[in-house]
Structure 1
Amino acid sequence: MKENSLDKAARAAGISLTHINVNGETEAISDETKRALLAVMDNPGSNKKTPLPPVAVFSGNAKRQLTAQGRGVFHWQLRSEKGAVFEGELQGGELFTLPTPLGQGYHQLTLSKGRQQWLTRIIVTPRRCYLPPALREGEKRWGALVQLYTVRSANNWGIGDFGDLQQLLEQLALRGGDFVGLNPLHALYPASAGFASPYSPSSRRWLNIIYIDVSQVADFQQSAAAQKWWKSAKTQRALAKARESDFVDYETVMALKLAALRYAWAEFQLHNEENEDKRAFAAFVSEGGDSLRYQAAYDGIQAARRADNAEHWGWPVWPEAWRNSQLPEVQQWCKQHEDEIAFWQWLQWLAQQQFSRCWQASQASGMSVGLYRDLAVGVAEGSAETWHDPELYRLKASVGAPPDRLGPLGQNWGLPPMDPHVMQARGYQPFIDMLRANMRDCGALRIDHVMSLLRLWWVPAGETADKGAYVAYPVDDLLGILALESQRHRCMVIGEDLGTVPKEIISMLRDSGIFSWKVLWFEQQQNGEYRSPDEYPRQSIASASTHDLPTLNGFWGEGDLLLGEKIGLYPDKAVMQSLQQQRAAQKQALLEALQQAGALPARSAKRAETLAMSPQLNQAIHRFLADTNSALLGLQPEDWLGMTEPVNVPGTTNEYPNWRRKLAQSLEEIFADKEVNKLLKTVSQRRKAG
């Protein structure tokens, strides 16, 4: 059957014509959705034809050959990343083999004919991502998975900070731990501090300045005005309240830190230009370029506009003349507020310095992974990135997930997708810049929703998520670049591949050296039995849970189900009863798996329903996890402390205080706790024995 013009255009644009629906059946995408998404993409098929594509990626030992479209003779010149120059002539329509030797990296091919010239970026990549020597040699390592904002300590200002992170790394290293895995540290919205989801950032290239440990800032300590403010009764009362709260008070914490850092900034400006810190800051600003400048400008403008009008939360609701970084009014503001821009740039510099010190502390402690960062799947609509580079993002669409059994209408995450056609036209530089920013000062990068390298579910603006379609991304090219940057930064890659994973990407991820994520709750066979520890693949990280799932206590005591019922997540009692029955079966299967693996004595209990969560059961689950074949194991402090409340309930906004719940104990208390130390000692010994 001949393909109609609409389907042909959609397929050419990378829009999948079908998807697997909630019943496991192939379902056609509607013509309305195809038209809507083609309109969102600005008709990518109409681009002017060129002899060569704007970028070509060659992975591993693949043949490095191209065909120049057109007729006649072309002159070519290839400049390698290291400056070597090759040149010659080629015939249009014939196969052209790139010259050798041409090492891994980014090279520039120029094709010319008469007065016309065309540029193609040539990227030569390794096949696999980096793997630390310890893991390459077969060792098994463990670490803590920490939502940094939840950390309590004697010194922080009501939110976990980079000072806490350094302390956490040092304490874990003393107990045999090898890394701290973090939530995304991406820049959020200082002027709208309550908008706290780390997965809806303002920028994925810059840091969240709320994590700055103000006590480490020398100019804060040296400023007489800052110290007077700090010692005032009003400041100390606000600080004590923020520290004592069981939930992070983002607005208060941000207000305190910005007030303190304004004083510190005034002190910093008094240094002469030859001051070592002044010179380091100037170099940071120069290296950050336009991306840093407009991140800082956005933070400054957002603060000014919200001070005048609380409704002006971000650029989508600003006056038309302010909705793009390059508009005349914005440029005029920037010229008049260079000092304000510099202040926000300086905060990024402080954050980067402190995070870098954490990385250095991990390496000084002998950790092989040390830190792993988390890369969110996108940025929010009202972000600094979409404000500064609207061409890269498709603002009339958002990404999400198609309907499934838990969400019959699908999910809409409110994140505008990067346009794969624009990414290719730019030689993948936006993707490269993002990887470099996030692989800095860490030993591993976790990629949230790693399937996004292959495809994303795009939903046209104004439509429900069930009216979306999958849009393809150049997965082979992206995996190659990921491997190249991974090797260059000595940063391994972990892919969050939970949920429905397309079959076509599973082997790609494995062959690229990307670690899979194995969550205990999901590691069941078709017959309901839990996989034994030795069935976990070596190229994976194992964990009991994640920030989106219940804690050990929550799972065993069904606290997550009770919470879901309380806040109205389930349509009726029948759904709740079904989930409780499913949980009872899971708990029984887990109990049997623990006993079969020797992690829990068989005499402890035969029926899970008669067994309450206890230190013994908690230790047994940790022993089971420690024995898994996975090269990495991530443990949550919430589970060391027997906490029940989740940090995030997916699918909620105002129903639950997501991204705010703190740990039950401070760092000082955690590492002085005999039960915690006993548990970590057991885990460390079993990982070494394995």
Structure 2
Amino acid sequence: MNESGLLPPHEAQALLALCQRHGVATDYVDAFGHRHAVSHEALAALLADAGFVAHSGSEAASGSDLPFAAAVATAARDARRHPLPPVQVVASGADAFEIDVRLPSHLAHVKWRVVDESGGRHEGAVRADRLEAIDRATFDDEAYARYRLPLMLALPEGYHRLSLVGFPGETLLVCAPARCHQPGALEGDARIWGFTLQLYGLRSRRNWGIGDFSDLADFAELAAREGADVVGLNPLHALFPHNPLRASPYSPSSRAQLNAFYIDVEAVPDFHDCGPARERVQSQAFQARLSALRAATLVDHAGVAAAKHEVLRLLYTHFRTRDAVDAESAAFTRFREQGGEALHQHALFEALQANFHAGDTDIQGWPDWPPEYRDPSSPAAARFAAEHTEHVGYYEYLQWQAARQFEAAGVRAKAAGMGLGLYLDLAVSVDRAGSDAWRHRRTFALAARIGAPPDAFNPRGQDWGLPPLRPDRLRESQYRIFIEALRANMRGAGAIRIDHVMMLMRLFWIPAQGTARDGTYVGYPALELFAILALESRRHGCLVIGEDLGTVPEETRDMLGRYGVLSYRLLYFERNGAGRFRAPAEYPPQAVAAVSTHDLPPFAGWWSAHDLKERHALGLIDDAAFDRLREERRRDRQQLIDAVRADGHESLMLPLYSRPRPIRNKAPGLLMAPGARVRPVAA
């Protein structure tokens, strides 16, 4: 760019072409219906941060005064190197399908091979002169054509591999059902209800200061006795064991692994056989630590982590003394085989991070490691894994114990009579310093951040601080990271909620040196993502809920309905054209209705206008806006009561923060007050 910040006309045209190629919107419509044009400067920064074009100060860019034109030319040349698309969706039940291929024009025949998921091979050939040529182009003096290749082949639902004989690469064929799984509990006009909870905040007299999987199982049984069919949970993703204060479940290290701090240590089978562990826990000093952890007003994440690791390491040491033919040893071997590379590399990440963090507490993730360890496939990483098998194995052992305890909680929920069971939350992305970003570094645009544009609730926009996945690299990887996350979160769950489900269609990207006002939307291959979602949903028998709050394009809700993904509707936002609350009967039938969510005020705070007071104190609203909003809230309270009464629920108890009557478990020690017993509110 020149001193005035403007690009030469040729480069400006190339910049826009590059944005179009990579799905980067050059303008967008905000929550108020206003169209925003994104500056060329912001677009250029975003393309560079994403890796779509070299940064202007880099060596790659310094040799060219026209980086955008050069990037467009490079992309066009690269297209001929990939005769097959990385992914193709095939409709379940189809007896034939077509796929676009790019091949040299002089070919006489095109020979193809499909290896289906079960290992079966299917082959065929087509004369090139019988193929439909969509377009033609010349690269390096060689003529190429893009053909539409027909394959007369019926495939079962699943993932299959297509290749062309004599050419590199392969296509992942996703043969998917038209819709996601629909559980029997929701057949016809059936409605169900349940509780949501943040598992870490669940207290009992027997846990170690943080809710655990045994607490979850007990809670689910209690909820089922009250008539609930579902228990919704915060994301249970793996966090950072070396730094327990990085405790946000929406900024995890990995979405494909579990948070090991939810393990009930005393429920691990090795605990009953390990004398040193039982003696440690039963000691007066350790019991005093546990009492202090349980009594803490807030969860003492660091204290909980220290106590659990101290005993879990003893249990792992005991486990390693078991014979290889022991039932527990065999079960662990099966778990490791099923977890494969994803499990092993996550455990390797945690072992490496623990090793480096022990020597320098400022090391907070793989970007701080010595360079030779920042690639999981590097010789240094392989050498560390070979030399520290016990250390890596410990973190695999933790994932095993967490997985079996979570699955047991799901079984108990269903056995207690729940129609749906446990419902998990899938975070929108991960921490850039964590395990997933290390394992899939090439798939992320690590310099960029995701968020949301300014709206009425967040006038400055939102910056979530998380890196986006690059759509092109995500597709090139055949959606490996997405499939891993879905499988990990659907396993043992009756439903999953996809946080910010718009991510399957578009995400709002923010440049590294910018704010939300400098961001724009980047599109994703929605049809392929939804097809994979439907396939995994059916395979796991798992209902899918899409959190569609905020700035939601109409096509997003169309896609949710098309694929049988339930919408997510919040009481606060469900208003009619006059701005009044909808009556219960006016909610859309294919939706989950909730009072609040993790990033909005709880009902008690909303009712008392505590959220407005906090926004005022933080300088997000001025005195005049505070007075106006507080008066609106007073009217909202009355309108909510009127809406409920208009629906014929004269005796409904609105959940205010009085003193709820606790629900006590018959098992000793468990005491919970989910707020289901409340006093009536006067009109």
TM range (shorter): 0.7 to 0.9
Task: Write out aligned runs for 1:513-532 (5 A).
Answer: 513-532=564-583
How much does 1:143 deviate?
A: 1.1
Contact 2:585 2:647 in 1 (8 A): no
* Alignment correspondent of 2:85: 53
2:409 aligned counterpart, secondary structure: helix
- Is 1:598 the counterpart of 2:648? The answer is yes
- Is 1:282 the counterpart of 2:333? The answer is yes
* Alignment correspondent of 1:448: 499
* Alignment correspondent of 1:418: 469
TM-score by length of 1: 0.85
Q: Deviations over 1:40-61 (max 9, x none)?
A: 2335862332333121113457
Contact 1:594 1:620 in 2 (8 A): no
- Quick one: structure 1 residues 6 and 438, their matched pair in 2 at CA, closer, same or farther if it must change by over 3 Å? same
* Alignment correspondent of 2:61: none
Q: Deviations over 1:23-71 (max 9, x none)?
A: 5321111112222232223358623323331211134578722233332
How much does 1:673 deviate?
A: 8.8
Q: Which moved further from structure 2: 463-472 or 97-106?
A: 97-106
How much does 1:553 deviate?
A: 1.9
* Alignment correspondent of 2:624: 574
RMSD: 2.7
1:141 aligned counterpart, secondary structure: coil
* Alignment correspondent of 1:25: 34
Q: Which moved further from structure 2: 209-218 or 82-91?
A: 82-91
Q: Which has the higher contact order (CA 8 A, sep 6+)?
A: 1
- Quick one: structure 1 residues 269 and 553, their matched pair in 2 at CA, closer, same or farther if it must change by over 3 Å? same
1:201 aligned counterpart, secondary structure: coil
* Alignment correspondent of 1:110: 163
* Alignment correspondent of 2:62: none
* Alignment correspondent of 1:66: 99
Q: Deviations over 1:245-266 (max 9, x none)?
A: 1210000011000001011111
Contact 1:19 1:469 in 2 (8 A): yes
- Quick one: structure 1 residues 89 and 569, their matched pair in 2 at CA, closer, same or farther if it must change by over 3 Å? same
* Alignment correspondent of 1:653: none
Q: For 2:156, give the aligned amino acid.
A: G
- Quick one: structure 1 residues 75 and 183, their matched pair in 2 at CA, closer, same or farther if it must change by over 3 Å? same
- Quick one: structure 1 residues 23 and 544, their matched pair in 2 at CA, closer, same or farther if it must change by over 3 Å? closer
Task: Write out aligned runs for 1:252-291 (5 A).
Answer: 252-291=303-342
- Is 1:75 the counterpart of 2:75? The answer is no
Contact 2:213 2:264 in 1 (8 A): yes
Q: For 1:138, give the aligned amino acid.
A: D
Count of aligned positions: 626
* Alignment correspondent of 2:63: none
Q: Name the CA distance, whole Å, in 1 between partners of 2:485 and 2:528.
A: 15
- Is 1:6 the counterpart of 2:15? The answer is yes
Contact 1:211 1:351 in 2 (8 A): yes
* Alignment correspondent of 2:518: 467
Task: Write out aligned runs for 1:457-536 (5 A).
Answer: 457-536=508-587
* Alignment correspondent of 1:100: 153
Q: Which moved further from structure 2: 369-378 or 287-296?
A: 287-296
Q: For 2:87, give the aligned amino acid.
A: V
What is the percentage of aligned positions where both structures have the same residue?
37
Q: For 2:79, give the aligned amino acid.
A: K
Q: For 2:630, give the aligned amino acid.
A: Q
Task: Write out aligned runs for 1:219-368 (5 A).
Answer: 219-368=270-419
How much does 1:15 deviate?
A: 0.5
The equivalent position to 2:24 in structure 1, one of 8, 15, 23, is 15
Contact 2:30 2:551 in 1 (8 A): no
- Quick one: structure 1 residues 53 and 150, their matched pair in 2 at CA, closer, same or farther if it must change by over 3 Å? same
- Quick one: structure 1 residues 85 and 334, their matched pair in 2 at CA, closer, same or farther if it must change by over 3 Å? closer
1:226 aligned counterpart, secondary structure: helix
Q: Name the CA distance, whole Å, in 2 between partners of 1:460 and 1:535.
A: 41
2:654 aligned counterpart, secondary structure: helix
Q: Name the CA distance, whole Å, in 2 between partners of 1:427 and 1:301.
A: 28
Q: Deviations over 1:419-462 (max 9, x none)?
A: 11112112222222221111100110100000000001111222
How much does 1:676 deviate?
A: 6.4
How much does 1:678 deviate?
A: 6.2
Q: Name the CA distance, whole Å, in 1 between partners of 2:396 and 2:495.
A: 26
How much does 1:413 deviate?
A: 1.1
Q: Name the CA distance, whole Å, in 2 between partners of 1:525 and 1:261.
A: 53
How much does 1:291 deviate?
A: 1.7
* Alignment correspondent of 2:139: none
Q: For 1:80, give the aligned amino acid.
A: D
Q: Name the CA distance, whole Å, in 1 between partners of 2:45 and 2:412.
A: 51
How much does 1:156 deviate?
A: 0.5
How much does 1:550 deviate?
A: 2.1
How much does 1:674 deviate?
A: 11
Q: Name the CA distance, whole Å, in 1 between partners of 2:192 and 2:46.
A: 45
Q: Deviations over 1:379-398 (max 9, x none)?
A: 01111111222111111111
2:79 aligned counterpart, secondary structure: coil
- Is 1:431 the counterpart of 2:482? The answer is yes
1:518 aligned counterpart, secondary structure: strand
- Quick one: structure 1 residues 640 and 495, their matched pair in 2 at CA, closer, same or farther if it must change by over 3 Å? farther
Contact 1:570 1:576 in 2 (8 A): no
Unpaired runs of at least 5, structure 2: 1-8, 54-70, 134-146
2:507 aligned counterpart, secondary structure: strand
Contact 2:584 2:644 in 1 (8 A): no
Q: For 2:118, give the aligned amino acid.
A: K
1:95 aligned counterpart, secondary structure: strand
Q: Name the CA distance, whole Å, in 2 between partners of 1:673 and 1:340.
A: 37
Q: Which moved further from structure 2: 258-267 or 460-469?
A: 460-469
* Alignment correspondent of 1:630: none
Q: For 2:649, give the aligned amino acid.
A: A
Task: Write out aligned runs for 1:211-222 (5 A).
Answer: 211-222=262-273
How much does 1:547 deviate?
A: 2.1
- Quick one: structure 1 residues 99 and 429, their matched pair in 2 at CA, closer, same or farther if it must change by over 3 Å? farther
2:550 aligned counterpart, secondary structure: coil
* Alignment correspondent of 1:140: 191
TM-score by length of 2: 0.86
* Alignment correspondent of 1:587: 637
Q: For 1:342, give the aligned amino acid.
A: G
- Quick one: structure 1 residues 302 and 569, their matched pair in 2 at CA, closer, same or farther if it must change by over 3 Å? farther
Q: Name the CA distance, whole Å, in 1 between partners of 2:665 and 2:357.
A: 35
How much does 1:343 deviate?
A: 0.6
- Quick one: structure 1 residues 86 and 297, their matched pair in 2 at CA, closer, same or farther if it must change by over 3 Å? closer
Q: Name the CA distance, whole Å, in 2 between partners of 1:677 and 1:403.
A: 35
Q: For 1:74, give the aligned amino acid.
A: V
- Quick one: structure 1 residues 14 and 664, their matched pair in 2 at CA, closer, same or farther if it must change by over 3 Å? farther
Q: Name the CA distance, whole Å, in 1 between partners of 2:671 and 2:484.
A: 42
Q: Name the CA distance, whole Å, in 2 between partners of 1:277 and 1:671.
A: 29
Contact 1:553 1:642 in 2 (8 A): no
1:359 aligned counterpart, secondary structure: helix
Contact 2:508 2:521 in 1 (8 A): yes
Q: Deviations over 1:539-585 (max 9, x none)?
A: 1111111222222222212222234444x253532232232122122
Q: Name the CA distance, whole Å, in 2 between partners of 1:667 and 1:471.
A: 49
Contact 1:295 1:384 in 2 (8 A): yes
Contact 2:663 2:672 in 1 (8 A): no
Q: Deviations over 1:589-612 (max 9, x none)?
A: 1121122123236xxxxxxxxxxx
How much does 1:334 deviate?
A: 2.3
Q: Deviations over 1:301-358 (max 9, x none)?
A: 2223333222112222334344333344433332221101101110000000100101
Q: Name the CA distance, whole Å, in 1 between partners of 2:641 and 2:149.
A: 62
Q: Name the CA distance, whole Å, in 1 between partners of 2:248 and 2:100.
A: 46
Contact 1:152 1:667 in 2 (8 A): no
Q: Name the CA distance, whole Å, in 2 between partners of 1:225 and 1:670.
A: 25
Contact 1:152 1:665 in 2 (8 A): no
